[in-house]
Amino acid sequence: MSHINIFLTTMIFSTFLTASESGKELFNDAKCMDCHNKNDFKHRKNKVNSFGKLIKSVRACAVNNDAEWFDDEVNDVAKYLNKQHYHYKLKDGD
């Protein structure tokens, strides 16, 4: 593997970790678990059945609870929840 490939792989991985860590922090700061519990995420899979729908669900929660998140923050929280609970495959650009 070339040095460039190693660098790019490291950058992509660190970007994902940053999004996941940022999403976890946003999720915790907004006290989302005051309204939700782990079972909520399991039972919602029949309604939230794709990563796109997960983003819409997170955005709706943020708006309803005045979280005032930007789109990239909504995406970070969705990525965090996906990693923890949903495990949907992400497309390029997600």
Q: What is the pLDDT at residue 67?
A: 93
pLDDT tens by residue, 31-69: 999 989 888 887 777 788 999 999 999 999 999 999 999
In the predicted structure, residue 75 carries a pLDDT above the cut 80:
yes
**Do the Cβ atoms of 75 and 19 come closer than 8 Å?**
yes
Average pLDDT value for residue range 4-18: 53
**Among 64, 11, 39, which residue's Cα sits nearest to residue 74?**
64
CA separation for the pair 43, 57 (Å, rounded): 14
In the chain, the percentage of residues whose pLDDT exceeds 90 is: 53
Give the pLDDT of residue 25: 93
Residue 33: exposed, middle, or buried by beta-carbon count in 10 A (0-12, 13-18, 19+)?
exposed
Cβ–Cβ < 8 Å for 20, 76: yes
pLDDT at 60: 95
